[in-house]
Chains A and B, each alone.
Chain A
Amino acid sequence: MTWMQIVFIVTAAVTLGSAVRVVSSGKMLHAALWLVAALFGVAILFAMLEAGFFAVVQVLVYIGAIAILVIFAVMLTRHVMEDTGPQVIQSWWLAAILAAMVFAGLVVLIISAGFKAQLPPIQDSQTMIVALGQALVMPDGYLLPFEVASVMLLAALVGSIYIAYQKR
């Protein structure tokens, strides 16, 4: 067992443990902070996949923007469920069984697929970023999805302002 594998196992355990706390925590603010921990673990996994750019984007976009937005929403809607009483539906065990079945099915599929174990060498990580940047602006690359995504973000911005706007 190499040190990389040990780092991976520790990261995976922290990520999955935090994720379990996200869905089981009674207090919403605690759940949001555990979500930050889980997202940070995912960023570490991205870095281990030699996608350092996405690790940085994960910290910036997910932890810096989305998690903070969630924390804002939690704080704006406090004292509603009073952080007491059941936070899960009555038949939560049904959901647990379904999730466990999905997990078991996926694991069986992954193991039976028998993916090759070799790791192809990667050029230095700069080339990936350069190629990604060029692919996003080249018409024969991914210019159209990129523009559609930017229009979608604009529509989401306008739509969320319109929905949350309070008429006085």
Chain B
Amino acid sequence: MIPLSWYLIVAAGLFSIGLFGVLARKNAIAIFMGIELMLNAVMINLLAFWRYHNPGQITGPVFVVIVFAAAAGEIAVGLAIVISAYRRNATVVADEINELKG
């Protein structure tokens, strides 16, 4: 049997790797990949707690469905912004996209 903490530690590792990607990568699309990794870590946590603590309740899976919807919306809008900024500035480096800077 797999202890619950194993799942949580794997999810923590995935979250930290995604956090590093978000903080350190230059390419805006790579930053989105980091965000996807972090969202996946959250979903592992939700499903692990659902399975180990109250599999009779439906709350955990419903949250996972909402996270899926949020991730789909986020990546669609985010990549549209990246492509729009790329057309305008011919760059995807997050540092160089600073049109909105005051």
Contacts and interface: CB of A to CB of B under 8 A. Distances in A.
Interface of A: 2, 4-5, 8, 12, 15-16, 19-20, 22-23, 28, 31-32, 35, 38-39, 42, 45-46, 48-51, 53-54, 57, 61-62, 65-66, 69-70, 72-74, 76-77, 80-81, 86-89, 92, 94-96, 98-100, 102-103, 106-107, 110-111, 115-117, 119-120, 122-123, 128, 131-132, 135-136, 141-142, 145-146, 149-150, 152-153, 155-157, 159-161, 163-164, 166
Interface residues of B, number: 72
Contacts of A73: 29, 32, 79, 82-83
Nearest to A11: B10
A102 B79 contact: no
Interface in B43-102: 43-44, 47-48, 50-55, 58, 61-62, 64-66, 68-77, 79-84, 86-87, 90-93, 95
A42 B30 CA distance: 19
B29 A74 contact: yes
Given A15-B10, A38-B37, A159-B80, A51 B47 contact: yes
A106 to B, nearest CB: 4
A95 B79 CA distance: 24
A99 B55 CA distance: 32
Contacts, number: 243
SS class, residues of chain B in contact with chain A: helix
Given A120-B55, A160-B80, A46 B24 contact: no
Given A49-B47, A96-B24, 19 more contacts: A22-B33, A22-B34, A28-B30, A35-B33, A42-B43, A57-B68, A61-B72, A66-B75, A70-B32, A81-B93, A92-B24, A102-B19, A106-B8, A120-B52, A122-B51, A132-B58, A145-B66, A153-B69, A160-B77
In the complex, the 5 A-B pairs of residues with the closest C-beta atoms, listed nearest first:
A156-B73, A23-B21, A95-B23, A160-B80, A103-B16
Contacts of A153: 69, 72-73
B52 to A, nearest CB: 6
Contacts of B3: 115, 117
Contact of B75 (A69, A81, A132): A69
Given A88-B26, A106-B16, A164-B84, A156 B76 contact: yes
